[in-house]
């Protein structure tokens, strides 16, 4: 990939495409993420769908599928709402996909935040309202499995010492040793006021650590 722009088979740069654009009624898309599935020549682009630009107005995650053509162009599908990526009474935010090549499973990590709780409220009170969640797909994003709340099994009691946290932005990676790594930012209790970056990692396809 490097710093050089991609070229098509003809040597020309591919046409730029706006995948998520603010709509006339105020619908806004934020926090995009992109993953390329080499085996199927497929791009999957994710974003938050919001009723306004405010974090509190995040609603669902949406996805668009791009098929890489022989001439280097990409044909994109229309936007699809990911109904599996949600918890009741929560808003879904911060998509962070990663592809696990050994099991051919696409993992989509994200956070779910309780109703319209503001980040500033969580920081001020020191009471985290975010949940670490994940859904998976075995068919390159055609269908998605039921959401899993990983908060207790992954973060455990430590989450009560966090003001809030978020995965991403962007995508995770699978390392050469098979471990999947997902970027994350957390804010500690307001008395400490520490903003820390770290990552969640998986030792297997069923276990996630920090």
Contact 84, 64 (CB under 8 A): no
Whole-model pTM: value is 0.84
- Give the tens place of pLDDT for each residue, 73-123: 999 999 999 999 999 999 999 999 999 888 899 999 999 999 999 998 998
pLDDT tens figures, 165-190: 999 888 877 776 666 655 666 666 55
Q: How far apart are CA 70 and CA 72, in angstroms?
A: 5
Q: How many CB atoms lie within 10 A of CB 10?
A: 10
Locate the domains of the chain by residue range: 28-203
Q: Pick one of 3.40.50.970, 3.40.50.300, 2.120.10.10, 3.40.630.30 as the CATH number of 28-203.
A: 2.120.10.10
- Tell me the pLDDT tens digit for each residue of 141-171: 999 999 999 999 988 998 888 889 999 888 8
pLDDT of residue 137: 97
């Amino acid at each position: 990939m490097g710093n050089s722009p991609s070229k098509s088979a003809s040597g020309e740069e591919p046409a730029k495409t706006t995948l998520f654009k603010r709509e006339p009624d105020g619908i806004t898309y934020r926090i995009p993420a992109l993953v390329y599935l080499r085996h199927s020549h497929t791009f999957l682009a994710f974003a938050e769908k919001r009723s306004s630009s405010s974090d509190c107005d995040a609603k669902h995650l949406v996805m668009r599928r791009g098929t890489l053509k022989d001439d280097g162009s990409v044909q994109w599908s229309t936007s699809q709402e990911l109904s599996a990526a949600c918890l009741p009474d929560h808003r879904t935010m911060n998509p962070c996909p990663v592809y696990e090549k050994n099991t051919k499973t696409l993992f989509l990590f994200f956070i779910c935040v309780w109703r319209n709780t503001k980040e500033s409220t969580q920081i001020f009170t020191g009471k985290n309202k975010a949940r670490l969640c994940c859904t998976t797909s075995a068919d390159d994003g055609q269908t998605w499995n039921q959401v899993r709340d990983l908060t207790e099994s992954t973060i455990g009691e430590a989450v009560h010492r966090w003001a809030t946290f978020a995965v991403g932005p962007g995508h995770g990676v699978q390392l050469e040793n098979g471990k999947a790594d997902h970027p994350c930012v957390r804010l500690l209790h307001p008395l400490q006021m520490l903003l820390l970056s770290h990552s969640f990692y998986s030792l297997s396809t069923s276990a996630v650590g920090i």
